[in-house]
Protein backbone atom coordinates (compact mmCIF):
# COMPACT_ATOMS: atom_id res chain seq x y z
CA UNK A 1 0.00 0.00 0.00
CA UNK A 2 2.88 2.34 -0.73
CA UNK A 3 4.49 1.85 2.70
CA UNK A 4 8.03 0.64 3.32
CA UNK A 5 7.32 -0.52 6.84
CA UNK A 6 6.45 -4.16 7.38
CA UNK A 7 2.76 -4.79 8.00
CA UNK A 8 1.66 -6.35 11.29
CA UNK A 9 -1.70 -7.12 9.71
CA UNK A 10 -2.71 -7.44 6.07
CA UNK A 11 -6.05 -8.01 4.38
CA UNK A 12 -5.49 -9.37 0.88
CA UNK A 13 -8.44 -9.38 -1.57
CA UNK A 14 -10.93 -10.17 1.21
CA UNK A 15 -14.55 -10.87 0.23
CA UNK A 16 -17.46 -11.32 2.62
CA UNK A 17 -21.07 -12.07 1.73
CA UNK A 18 -24.26 -12.48 3.74
CA UNK A 19 -26.32 -14.63 1.37
CA UNK A 20 -26.59 -12.64 -1.87
CA UNK A 21 -25.39 -9.42 -0.24
CA UNK A 22 -21.70 -8.61 -0.76
CA UNK A 23 -20.44 -6.68 2.28
CA UNK A 24 -16.71 -6.70 1.48
CA UNK A 25 -15.58 -6.87 -2.14
CA UNK A 26 -11.88 -7.44 -2.91
CA UNK A 27 -10.70 -5.43 0.12
CA UNK A 28 -6.94 -5.08 0.69
CA UNK A 29 -5.34 -3.11 3.53
CA UNK A 30 -2.00 -3.11 5.36
CA UNK A 31 -1.66 -2.06 9.00
CA UNK A 32 1.86 -1.25 10.20
CA UNK A 33 3.14 -0.63 13.71
CA UNK A 34 1.97 2.72 15.18
CA UNK A 35 -0.51 3.24 12.32
CA UNK A 36 -3.79 4.88 13.27
CA UNK A 37 -6.13 4.05 10.41
CA UNK A 38 -9.63 5.50 10.38
CA UNK A 39 -12.33 3.74 8.36
CA UNK A 40 -15.14 6.09 7.36
CA UNK A 41 -18.02 6.16 4.91
CA UNK A 42 -21.80 5.83 4.80
CA UNK A 43 -23.59 3.19 6.88
CA UNK A 44 -23.67 -0.24 5.28
CA UNK A 45 -20.37 0.29 3.47
CA UNK A 46 -18.64 -2.65 5.19
CA UNK A 47 -16.58 -0.84 7.86
CA UNK A 48 -17.71 -2.77 10.94
CA UNK A 49 -17.74 -6.07 9.05
CA UNK A 50 -14.12 -5.46 8.04
CA UNK A 51 -13.14 -5.20 11.73
CA UNK A 52 -15.17 -8.26 12.65
CA UNK A 53 -13.44 -10.40 10.01
CA UNK A 54 -10.03 -9.49 11.47
CA UNK A 55 -10.74 -11.07 14.84
CA UNK A 56 -12.87 -13.91 13.51
CA UNK A 57 -16.31 -12.67 14.55
CA UNK A 58 -17.23 -13.00 10.86
CA UNK A 59 -15.80 -15.55 8.44
CA UNK A 60 -14.67 -14.57 4.95
CA UNK A 61 -15.55 -16.22 1.64
CA UNK A 62 -12.28 -15.51 -0.16
CA UNK A 63 -8.97 -13.71 0.18
CA UNK A 64 -6.81 -13.92 3.28
CA UNK A 65 -6.03 -12.07 6.49
CA UNK A 66 -2.39 -12.26 7.57
CA UNK A 67 -1.26 -11.48 11.11
CA UNK A 68 2.52 -11.23 11.59
CA UNK A 69 3.18 -13.40 8.54
CA UNK A 70 0.65 -16.13 9.37
CA UNK A 71 -2.79 -16.53 7.76
CA UNK A 72 -5.62 -16.11 10.29
CA UNK A 73 -7.82 -19.23 10.42
CA UNK A 74 -10.44 -20.69 12.75
CA UNK A 75 -7.65 -22.88 14.19
CA UNK A 76 -5.44 -19.99 15.32
CA UNK A 77 -8.02 -17.24 15.88
CA UNK A 78 -7.90 -17.63 19.68
CA UNK A 79 -4.17 -16.97 19.61
CA UNK A 80 -4.63 -13.96 17.31
CA UNK A 81 -7.28 -12.50 19.64
CA UNK A 82 -4.69 -12.40 22.44
CA UNK A 83 -2.85 -9.76 20.40
CA UNK A 84 -5.70 -7.96 18.63
CA UNK A 85 -8.02 -6.14 21.03
CA UNK A 86 -11.48 -4.88 20.19
CA UNK A 87 -13.61 -2.08 21.63
CA UNK A 88 -17.29 -2.28 20.68
CA UNK A 89 -20.11 0.27 20.52
CA UNK A 90 -21.87 -1.32 23.49
CA UNK A 91 -18.97 -1.75 25.96
CA UNK A 92 -19.58 -5.51 26.66
CA UNK A 93 -18.47 -5.31 30.31
CA UNK A 94 -19.35 -8.12 32.74
CA UNK A 95 -22.17 -6.64 34.84
CA UNK A 96 -21.61 -9.04 37.77
CA UNK A 97 -17.93 -8.02 38.19
CA UNK A 98 -16.39 -4.86 39.59
CA UNK A 99 -14.40 -2.63 37.25
CA UNK A 100 -11.13 -4.01 38.64
CA UNK A 101 -12.26 -7.62 38.07
CA UNK A 102 -13.43 -6.72 34.56
CA UNK A 103 -9.90 -5.48 33.85
CA UNK A 104 -7.95 -8.39 35.36
CA UNK A 105 -10.02 -11.48 34.53
CA UNK A 106 -8.88 -11.97 30.90
CA UNK A 107 -5.11 -11.42 31.34
CA UNK A 108 -5.20 -13.67 34.45
CA UNK A 109 -7.13 -16.50 32.79
CA UNK A 110 -5.92 -16.27 29.20
CA UNK A 111 -2.34 -15.04 29.64
CA UNK A 112 -1.74 -16.59 33.09
CA UNK A 113 -0.63 -13.28 34.62
CA UNK A 114 -0.32 -12.63 38.36
CA UNK A 115 -3.55 -11.10 39.73
CA UNK A 116 -1.82 -8.79 42.23
CA UNK A 117 0.48 -7.39 39.55
CA UNK A 118 -2.49 -7.01 37.21
CA UNK A 119 -4.42 -5.08 39.86
CA UNK A 120 -1.52 -2.64 40.30
CA UNK A 121 -1.33 -2.10 36.54
CA UNK A 122 -5.10 -1.74 36.18
CA UNK A 123 -5.13 0.97 38.86
CA UNK A 124 -2.35 2.84 37.02
CA UNK A 125 -4.46 2.79 33.84
CA UNK A 126 -7.58 3.87 35.75
CA UNK A 127 -5.61 6.82 37.10
CA UNK A 128 -4.25 7.72 33.65
CA UNK A 129 -7.72 7.60 32.09
CA UNK A 130 -9.35 9.64 34.88
CA UNK A 131 -11.49 6.86 36.36
CA UNK A 132 -9.31 5.99 39.38
CA UNK A 133 -12.27 6.17 41.78
CA UNK A 134 -14.22 3.51 39.85
CA UNK A 135 -12.06 0.44 40.60
CA UNK A 136 -14.50 -1.19 43.02
CA UNK A 137 -17.83 -0.18 41.48
CA UNK A 138 -19.99 -2.28 39.17
CA UNK A 139 -20.68 -1.27 35.54
CA UNK A 140 -24.31 -0.27 36.25
CA UNK A 141 -22.96 2.65 38.32
CA UNK A 142 -20.90 4.06 35.43
CA UNK A 143 -21.83 6.58 32.75
CA UNK A 144 -21.53 5.54 29.10
CA UNK A 145 -18.28 7.47 28.72
CA UNK A 146 -16.82 5.80 31.80
CA UNK A 147 -17.89 2.34 30.59
CA UNK A 148 -16.19 2.94 27.24
CA UNK A 149 -12.98 4.12 28.92
CA UNK A 150 -13.04 0.96 31.07
CA UNK A 151 -13.53 -1.09 27.88
CA UNK A 152 -10.47 0.61 26.36
CA UNK A 153 -8.38 -0.10 29.48
CA UNK A 154 -9.59 -3.72 29.45
CA UNK A 155 -8.23 -4.04 25.93
CA UNK A 156 -4.91 -2.46 26.98
CA UNK A 157 -4.54 -4.96 29.84
CA UNK A 158 -3.94 -7.70 27.25
CA UNK A 159 -0.88 -5.85 25.83
CA UNK A 160 -2.33 -5.91 22.32
CA UNK A 161 -0.40 -5.26 19.11
CA UNK A 162 -3.48 -3.59 17.62
CA UNK A 163 -6.80 -2.34 18.97
CA UNK A 164 -9.87 -2.36 16.73
CA UNK A 165 -12.50 0.27 17.55
CA UNK A 166 -16.02 -0.26 16.16
CA UNK A 167 -17.71 3.17 16.36
CA UNK A 168 -16.68 3.57 20.02
CA UNK A 169 -18.60 6.85 20.51
CA UNK A 170 -21.82 6.09 18.61
CA UNK A 171 -23.77 4.94 21.70
CA UNK A 172 -22.73 7.95 23.79
CA UNK A 173 -24.31 11.29 24.63
CA UNK A 174 -22.43 14.20 23.02
CA UNK A 175 -20.75 15.35 26.24
CA UNK A 176 -19.35 11.85 26.82
CA UNK A 177 -17.87 11.57 23.33
CA UNK A 178 -14.99 13.90 24.23
CA UNK A 179 -14.04 11.74 27.24
CA UNK A 180 -13.63 8.70 25.00
CA UNK A 181 -11.86 10.56 22.19
CA UNK A 182 -9.45 11.98 24.80
CA UNK A 183 -8.73 8.42 25.96
CA UNK A 184 -8.01 7.42 22.35
CA UNK A 185 -5.76 10.48 21.92
CA UNK A 186 -3.84 9.22 24.94
CA UNK A 187 -3.44 5.82 23.26
CA UNK A 188 -2.13 7.51 20.12
CA UNK A 189 0.52 9.30 22.20
CA UNK A 190 1.46 5.93 23.71
CA UNK A 191 2.12 4.65 20.18
CA UNK A 192 -0.76 2.17 20.08
CA UNK A 193 -1.61 0.79 16.65
CA UNK A 194 -5.32 1.35 16.00
CA UNK A 195 -7.93 0.64 13.35
CA UNK A 196 -10.95 2.85 14.04
CA UNK A 197 -14.43 2.92 12.51
CA UNK A 198 -15.80 6.38 13.27
CA UNK A 199 -17.73 9.35 11.88
CA UNK A 200 -15.73 11.73 14.11
CA UNK A 201 -13.82 13.32 11.23
CA UNK A 202 -12.37 16.15 13.35
CA UNK A 203 -10.76 13.47 15.51
CA UNK A 204 -9.60 11.60 12.38
CA UNK A 205 -8.04 14.80 11.05
CA UNK A 206 -6.13 15.16 14.30
CA UNK A 207 -4.81 11.65 15.08
CA UNK A 208 -5.09 9.42 11.98
CA UNK A 209 -2.04 8.46 9.95
CA UNK A 210 -4.23 7.07 7.14
CA UNK A 211 -7.91 7.30 6.32
CA UNK A 212 -9.92 4.86 4.22
CA UNK A 213 -13.28 5.71 2.67
CA UNK A 214 -15.55 2.67 2.20
CA UNK A 215 -18.74 2.48 0.21
CA UNK A 216 -20.63 -0.40 -1.41
CA UNK A 217 -18.28 -3.00 0.09
CA UNK A 218 -15.09 -1.47 -1.35
CA UNK A 219 -12.29 0.79 -0.14
CA UNK A 220 -12.67 3.65 -2.61
CA UNK A 221 -9.94 5.85 -1.11
CA UNK A 222 -6.95 4.82 1.04
CA UNK A 223 -4.68 7.80 1.62
CA UNK A 224 -2.49 9.53 4.14
CA UNK A 225 -4.49 12.04 6.17
CA UNK A 226 -3.32 15.17 4.36
CA UNK A 227 -3.99 13.69 0.92
CA UNK A 228 -7.35 12.33 2.05
CA UNK A 229 -8.78 15.71 2.99
CA UNK A 230 -7.27 17.31 -0.10
CA UNK A 231 -8.71 14.64 -2.45
CA UNK A 232 -10.84 16.36 -5.06
CA UNK A 233 -10.88 13.42 -7.46
CA UNK A 234 -13.45 11.18 -5.81
CA UNK A 235 -16.93 12.67 -6.07
CA UNK A 236 -18.46 10.36 -3.47
CA UNK A 237 -15.76 11.26 -0.94
CA UNK A 238 -16.34 14.97 -1.62
CA UNK A 239 -20.07 14.55 -1.03
CA UNK A 240 -19.52 12.51 2.13
CA UNK A 241 -17.07 15.01 3.63
CA UNK A 242 -19.23 18.01 2.72
CA UNK A 243 -22.12 16.49 4.69
CA UNK A 244 -20.20 15.05 7.65
CA UNK A 245 -17.88 18.03 8.26
CA UNK A 246 -20.91 20.30 8.66
CA UNK A 247 -21.96 18.41 11.80
Give tens-digit pLDDT for 189-218: 999 999 999 999 999 999 999 999 999 999
pTM equals 0.92
Give tens-digit pLDDT for 32-46: 999 999 999 988 889
d(CA 240, CA 207): 20
Specify whether the CB–CB gap between 223 and 232 falls below 8 A.
Answer: no
134 to 131, 139, 150: CA distances (angstroms): 6, 9, 9
pLDDT of residue 2: 43
CA-nearest of 18, 100, 6, 97 to 53 is 18
Amino acid sequence: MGQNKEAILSLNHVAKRFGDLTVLDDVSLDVCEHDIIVLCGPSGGGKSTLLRTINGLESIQSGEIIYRGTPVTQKNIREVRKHVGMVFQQFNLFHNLTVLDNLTIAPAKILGRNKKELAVRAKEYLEAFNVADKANVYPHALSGGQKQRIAIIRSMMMDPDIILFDEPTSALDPEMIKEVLDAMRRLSKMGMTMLIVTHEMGFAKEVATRICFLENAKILVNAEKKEFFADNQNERLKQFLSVILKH
